[in-house]
Amino acid sequence: MFTYQSEWNFSESPESIIVGLFDKSIKFEGKLAELDDVFQGELTNLIKSGDLSAKKNKVRIIHTFGRIAAKRLVFVGLGKEKDLTFDDIREAFGATFKQIAQERWTETSLFVDSFVTEEVEVQDVAHAFGEAFALATYEFTGYKQKSNVPEKKITELTVFSNVEEEIVLSALQVGHIYGKATNSARTLVNLPGNMLTATDLASYALELANKYNFETEILEKEDMLKLGMGAMLAVNQGSTEPPKMIVLKYQGKENWEDVIGLVGKGITFDTGGYSLKPKTGIVGMKTDMGGAAAVLGAMEIIGELRPEQNVVAVIPSTDNMVNGNAFKPDDVITSMSGKTIEVLNTDAEGRLVLADALTYAKHHGANYLVDIATLTGGVITALGMETTGAMANDEALFEQVLEASYEAGEQMWRLPIFESHKKLVRNSPVADLNNSPGTAGHAIMGGAFIGEFAEGTPWVHLDIAGTSTTNKASSLGQSGATGVMTRTLALFVERFEADKQ
């Protein structure tokens, strides 16, 4: 897929080459000045006339008419050099690949050094290129009949740089791993509920385990009964599909200690149960396993990169359906932790399955917990569709997750959990907790409930109800599932030991 050359030789370059264009003086410098000389100053004239623009994400394809070996030059606008960030470069590459996809090319190349600044190093550019290539070219076509016309896609990418080959290719490959794993999470979320049951999700996890040599455990309904997972089983009561508690363990240290627990909500379809969703709200509930998808995507990255860190991934998976056996408002259930729960809303089921999953992650030795879930519509009301809501009981752990989210380009905002919020979820005349104190502060109530099961373990909660899908395409993906937090979780694990010190 990726090949490296130390110098861009105009007489030997591949079919097309991507070049960065900064908004600065019209005069080209270095290799680009040599290129402009070959074109007898015509590139400078194109900038003067406005036919070539350095405006961010502006992509322009120029035919070379045999003046150099490459048939086309792809100029990418980057804005002002001093303002350029890693996210900007990734976006620019995404826009570039979107444009190239329309041209149906099978190969292209990149002049890496034309994107480098004092703040953005060569390895950053290479990582962004590899990641954007995977993200921007992702397609989920679903189950439509396929055309007989073969699709043309880019399969060969060459990079030119005067930096050491190993540094550049390593960064490219790592970026591509991050992008591909995000796409894996996207595909899981895009699958319809009848094509992705809890059993299917468990099978997918086992495939990952076999590929990356993870230790696995899949709890069946009988196992959950023995362990007293009453919260998980209550949600599954109305379903004909068996529940699965999926566990993947990666040991990156000699001893099983200092363990990060990643817990992802895996509700494969959510009707709301007897607190039934309206007809407009029930469409799209195949995506209610976005947290599980993010955790599995992160485990794919962990399996590829093998960080020196211990991780246990726990995914409680079932659908939430309605029949004569389904759990009801006013029911009282007993969680694995022993805490009793009064059910006031069967559509607040995600926090119930997560309650038993967090307890089980601690059973497997998790010293730190991060749960991720499409949990509440309230987080959309509070933060919109582009910001993940976060809550935590530990400042240091939250800062590490936040830093990873910045680097991944996946924005989040912290919401509070005060004692007054805890009192509301502990307010029940018949049980230790209630699962839905009301609509006021809805997202906070969900987080506060889950926090009761983290107890004294450092914990961060991520509510991706708004960010797990999008109804509009971007330079880095089509509409539909985003795979959000896959990269954040993986970066958090990868940098955990260093950031902790």
Return the exposure string of 82-95: e unless at least 16 CB atoms fall within 10 Å of the residue's CB, then b: eebebebbbbbbbb
Amino acid at 494: E
Q: How far is CA 126 from CA 129, 164, 175, 390, in A?
A: 5, 12, 7, 30
* Closest among 472, 412, 468, 490 to 290, alpha carbons compared: 468
Q: Is residue 327 a contact partner of residue 238, using CB atoms and an 8 Å limit?
A: yes
* Closest among 76, 65, 145, 142 to 108, alpha carbons compared: 76
Is 351 a residue of the active site?
yes
Rounded CA-CA distance 470/189 in Å is: 12
Q: How far is CA 349 from CA 56, 300, 344, 373, 416, in A?
A: 44, 27, 10, 11, 22
* Closest among 266, 264, 262, 259 to 243, alpha carbons compared: 266
**Phi and psi (nearest 5°) for 244?**
-140, 135
| Catalytic residue from among 56, 60, 277, 495 | 277
| Catalytic residue from among 186, 286, 351, 487 | 351
Other CB atoms within 10 A of residue 472 CB: 8
Query: Mapping DSSP to helix (H, G, I), strand (E, B) and coil, where does residue 477 land?
Result: strand
- Annotated active-site positions, please? 277, 351
